[in-house]
């Protein structure tokens, strides 16, 4: 069970990337009132949780009605996660997220008295519950049908959402304390781990699809 918890925690840590959330949230909410900033933090986490739970428990039903096999989704999801890992290793993913955060900050600066609701977009979707996180929860639930195992997987996801909320609530001091060097180091380490996990998803999908043992 511990190995499953560790695997799910690492996968969601990379897919959600709570470490990178602090500076991005600071940028996006720089012109907001502190109370509204906290409201955006809680609301975005609640919405992202609902989205991930919906795909966790309804993903198999959706794939069935689309005529997509679980093994095909394992292969596709593994490839998607591998691409995310490559992006993390070469910092492309961080650059895109930072650009999106700067765009939101620029709009806030143009209308300082208007408090935009950024909880759904871009916070909940696609920054928190993006394609990587959605694919991860569906892949894990496809491989583990036992209730205890699924509870462990959800625990790994929940820990990352709590970390993300914490990063939002203490975004400004956390970004200064951590520094860019530490953030880049953690991103690359977890990117390598995600690449290995993604490759394993693809291998399992190919084995099951072609009956290779």
Q: What pLDDT, on the 0 to 100 scale, is given for residue 150?
A: 95
Choose the most confident range, by mean pLDDT, from 31-40, 73-82, 178-187.
31-40
Q: Confidence band (pLDDT; 50, 70, 90) for 4?
A: very high
**Cβ neighbour number for residue 178 with a 10 Å cutoff:** 15
Question: pLDDT over 90 for what percent of the chain?
Answer: 24
Residue pLDDT, tens place only, 97-139: 666 666 666 666 665 555 678 888 878 887 788 777 888 899 8
Whether the predicted pLDDT of 96 surpasses 70: no
Choose the most confident range, by mean pLDDT, from 2-11, 134-143, 156-165.
156-165
| Of 188 and 105, more confident | 188
Distance CA 107, CA 165 (A): 23
Q: What pLDDT, on the 0 to 100 scale, is given for residue 45?
A: 96
Q: What pLDDT, on the 0 to 100 scale, is given for residue 111?
A: 59
Distance CA 182, CA 68 (A): 40
Long-range contacts of 103-110 (CB under 8 A, 24+ apart): 104/27, 104/28, 105/27, 105/28, 105/30, 105/31, 108/28, 108/29, 108/30, 108/31, 108/32, 109/30, 109/31
| Of 190 and 65, more confident | 65
User: pTM for the whole thing?
Assistant: 0.72
Distance CA 209, CA 213 (A): 11
Distance CA 38, CA 166 (A): 11
| Of 150 and 143, more confident | 150
Whether the predicted pLDDT of 163 surpasses 90: yes
Q: What pLDDT, on the 0 to 100 scale, is given for residue 110?
A: 63
Residue pLDDT, tens place only, 23-71: 778 777 777 788 888 999 999 999 999 999 999 999 888 888 888 887 8
**Sequence-separated (6 or more) residues with CB below 8 Å from residue 115:** 32, 33, 36
Distance CA 98, CA 28 (A): 9
Q: What are phi and psi of 191, to 5 degrees?
A: -65, -40
Distance CA 210, CA 187 (A): 34
Distance CA 60, CA 8 (A): 18
Q: Which of 20-29, 79-88, 180-189 has the lowest mean pLDDT?
A: 180-189
Q: Confidence band (pLDDT; 50, 70, 90) for 153?
A: very high
């Amino acid at each position: 069970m511990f190995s499953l918890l560790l695997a799910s925690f690492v996968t969601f840590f990379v897919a959600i990337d709570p470490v990178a959330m602090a500076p991005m949230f600071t940028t996006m909410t720089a012109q907001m009132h502190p109370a509204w900033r906290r409201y955006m933090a809680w609301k975005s986490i609640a919405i992202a949780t609902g989205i991930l739970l919906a795909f966790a428990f309804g993903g198999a039903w959706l794939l069935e009605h689309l005529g997509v096999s679980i093994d095909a989704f394992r292969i596709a999801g593994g490839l998607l996660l591998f691409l995310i890992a490559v992006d993390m290793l070469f910092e492309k993913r961080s650059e895109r997220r930072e650009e999106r955060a700067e765009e939101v900050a620029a709009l806030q600066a143009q209308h300082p008295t208007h408090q935009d609701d950024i909880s759904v977009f871009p916070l909940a979707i696609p920054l928190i519950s993006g394609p990587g996180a959605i694919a991860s929860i569906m892949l894990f639930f496809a491989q583990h049908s036992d209730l205890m195992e699924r509870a462990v997987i959800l625990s790994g996801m929940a820990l990352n959402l709590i970390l993300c909320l914490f990063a939002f609530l203490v975004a400004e001091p956390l970004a200064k304390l951590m520094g860019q060097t530490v953030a880049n180091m953690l991103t690359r380490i977890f990117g390598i781990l995600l690449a290995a996990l993604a490759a394993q998803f693809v291998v399992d999908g190919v084995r099951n699809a072609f009956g290779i043992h």
